[in-house]
Every structure is written in C-alpha cells, then in structure tokens.
Amino acid sequence: MKRPVIEVISENASEQDIAPVIAVLDQHAALHMGEVEEKPDFAILARDPDTQAVVGGLYGMDSFGWAFVKYLAVVDEYRGQGLGSRLLAEAEAIARTRGYVGVWLDTFEFQAKPFYEKLGYTVFGELEGAPNVIPQYFLKKRF
C-alpha cells in the first residue's frame, strides 16, 4: 500500500483545504449514524430600545441532538439586568422546540462559569490552565 504524503497548513487553512476532511468525516459518520439532518444556526439579539444597536446576543447551532451556544455576550452597560439569562432562556426554548436533549457551551475561567451554574448548567469537562493558558470549562443543561 502506498503511503500518503503529509501536507502541513500551519496557518490560514481555507474552506477548500478543510472541505475534504469534513467529507471523509461525514462519510464515516453516515455509516454509523445514518443521514443526520442538520438544523440551521440560530441567533438571538438584544437591542438598545432607543438606538436599536445590538447590545448583546447569542449565537447557537445544531450539535448532533444538542444545541451548542457558541457565543453569548452582553455589553457592560447592560450586565446585571438579567439579559444574559433571558438570552439563554430563549436558546433553551429553541432547543426544546427542535427536540434537542439539552444545551451545551464552554466558558473560560474569567468569564461566566458561576452564571451558567446558577442557571442549572453543570460542568462535564475542563481544560486545565497553565502559565499563559486560561482554564476552559464545558457545561451542559439536559432537559
């Protein structure tokens, strides 16, 4: 059998570079899972009532039966008013409507781990910190 040649793309891998890797993964997954229906990404935006500028929001996506919250952010001026909780509640409502098992997300140590835990999320994984490496936590909320 011939040995493949390894090509290293250490920076700026393009969609064209990544597409064949994803195709191999999709083909292998289809053998074990059948065809998986991907649902569209979703976003929930919070706007300033006067200017309509976005002051916070959430971006989520399908994650094989779970909703994955990729980003959740609120500008400093609007923090502490329950906006983050409202955004997350909307994401959970979308997840329930889509029939997902629950919601998962990740956060760094300096971000919002206690906030998510207060809302019923539990840690299921951690990447430990080191010098110049901030610990990262993976949390989930199963319905």
The domain over range 42-142 is classified in CATH as 3.40.50.2300: no
Least confident of 33-42, 71-80, 120-129: 33-42
pLDDT above 80: residue 38: no
Instruction: Sketch the domain layout of the chain as residue ranges.
Output: 42-142
Closest CA to 64 of 16, 24, 30, 21: 30
| Residue that the structure tokens 């760094």 belong to | 108
- Model confidence at 101, pLDDT cuts 50, 70, 90, reads very high
pLDDT tens-digit readout, 54-78 = 999 999 999 989 999 999 999 999 9
pLDDT of residue 56: 97
Q: Is the pLDDT of residue 29 over 90?
A: no
Please report the pLDDT score of residue 36 as a whole number: 65
Tell me how far apart the alpha carbons of residues 137 and 121 are, in angstroms, rounded to a whole number.
Answer: 11
